[in-house]
């Protein structure tokens, strides 16, 4: 979903005020936000402070900056802490007179709230200007809009995996990699062993080995680890002609890097047919965060749990061939 970043173009308060001496604060380093949706509620621009029903002005230094769109392009706006702000010099009588002249609506048309800041107009490109919504109702509206868009994405993701299961069937294999780390003399953590597990669609173990990723003179913390090169050659034969499903294809990057560091030739053990499931499962879950963004799916963690997830998304079962036993939990 495309998010609209509110531009800091609210007209400054035109209420007559008494002359006040501006306080100059030294610059203070702070966060640099990329859009207004990231900014915490207590940080406001000068214009936003002035647009409050009881206007205020900065009473402290700049606490952060934010990038925003303006009619002329993009600009950087200074943000001030609301808790440090002070009232403007406008009197109650002046504010009452200004309110009587103002056409600014301050009532949320969804919940009836009267927020300090003017409600934002929710614009619908098809139907023109929408309702005026407070900050909370605007966030809820964005979430609902995103959820509606993701319904079709979720169904499409499920169909994509179901079609793959139907097309490839017994030629599908789930591959998982888990690493055992060791500390280098500099204190850095590097992989010392990689546990690779490959299952077919029925939960049958096709390959399960712990590969040693250290050189012959470097101790390996896993006593069951076996030399990697010849073992991966065997895995290459098992996977030949199959479609490999992994949570993320980058999961093998640490394995390849460790083999190169140990001076071991990296065999091309993965077939050309392979599929990363992270993005697909994220779309299928269609779980939206409170800021209307798609929440990334969590890695299953083991091969059998990844296989279980494949069946959940595809709407299939882990039915087995006669006489075959499944892994625990399948």
> Residue 208 maps to which CATH number?
3.30.420
- Verify that 183 and 259 share a domain, yes or no: yes
Confidence of residue 241 (pLDDT cuts 50, 70, 90): confident
| Angstrom distance (rounded) from CA 60 to CA 84 | 6
17 located within any domain: no
Range of the domain at 78: 1-7+30-103
113 against 19, higher pLDDT = 113
pTM, full prediction = 0.71
- 9-18, 168-177, 263-272, 290-299, range with the lowest pLDDT: 9-18
Residue at a domain's end among 84, 103, 122: 103
173 shares its domain with 307: yes
Q: Is 154 exposed, middle or buried (0-12, 13-18, 19+ CB in 10 A)?
A: middle
Exposed, middle or buried by CB within 10 Å (0-12, 13-18, 19+), for 117? middle
Asked whether residue 35 is domain-assigned, the answer is yes
Do 183 and 82 lie in a common domain? Answer: no
Give how many domains the chain has, as a whole number. 2
In a domain, residue 330? The reply is no
Question: What would the pLDDT profile of 51-101 be if each residue is shown by its tens digit?
Answer: 999 999 999 999 999 998 888 888 899 999 999 999 999 999 999 998 888
Predicted confidence at residue 269, as pLDDT, reads 64
Band (322; pLDDT cuts 50, 70, 90): very low
Please, what is the average pLDDT of the chain?
82
Residues 6+ apart with CB under 8 A from 51: 10, 11, 13, 117, 118
Is 88 inside any structural domain? yes
User: What is the structure's pLDDT at 276?
Assistant: 92
Higher pLDDT pick, 303 / 21: 303
pLDDT at position 198:
94
The pLDDT of residue 22 is above 70: no
Assess whether pLDDT exceeds 70 at residue 268.
no
pLDDT of residue 108 exceeding 50, the answer is yes
């Amino acid at each position: 979903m495309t998010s609209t970043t509110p531009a800091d173009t609210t007209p400054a308060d035109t209420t007559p005020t008494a002359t006040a001496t501006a306080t100059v604060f030294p610059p203070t380093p702070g966060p640099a936000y990329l859009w207004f949706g990231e900014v915490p509620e207590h940080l406001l621009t000068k214009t936003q402070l002035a647009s409050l029903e009881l206007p205020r002005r900065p009473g402290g230094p700049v606490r952060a900056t934010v990038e925003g769109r303006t009619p002329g392009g993009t600009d950087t706006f200074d943000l001030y802490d609301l808790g440090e702000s002070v009232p403007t010099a406008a009197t109650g009588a002046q504010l009452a007179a200004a309110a009587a002249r103002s056409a600014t609506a301050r009532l949320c048309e969804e919940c009836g709230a009267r927020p300090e800041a003017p409600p934002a107009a929710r614009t619908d490109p098809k139907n023109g200007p929408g309702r005026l919504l407070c900050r909370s109702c605007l966030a809820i509206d964005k979430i609902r809009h995103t959820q509606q868009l993701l319904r079709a994405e979720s169904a499409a993701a499920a169909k994509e995996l179901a079609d793959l299961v139907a097309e490839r069937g017994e030629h599908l294999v789930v591959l998982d990699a888990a690493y055992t780390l060791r500390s280098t003399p500099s204190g850095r953590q590097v992989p010392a062993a990689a546990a690779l597990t490959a299952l077919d669609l029925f939960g049958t173990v096709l390959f399960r080995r712990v590969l040693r990723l250290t050189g012959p003179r470097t101790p390996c913390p896993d006593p069951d680890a076996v030399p990697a090169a010849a073992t991966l050659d065997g895995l290459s034969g098992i996977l030949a002609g199959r479609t490999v499903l992994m949570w993320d294809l980058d999961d093998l990057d640490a394995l390849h890097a460790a083999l190169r560091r140990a001076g071991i030739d990296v065999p091309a053990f993965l077939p050309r047919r392979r599929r990363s499931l992270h993005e697909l499962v994220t779309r299928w879950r269609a779980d939206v965060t409170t800021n209307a963004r798609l929440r990334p799916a969590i890695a299953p963690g083991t091969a059998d749990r990844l296989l279980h997830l494949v069946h959940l998304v595809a709407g299939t079962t882990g039915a087995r061939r006669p006489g075959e036993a499944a892994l625990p939990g399948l």
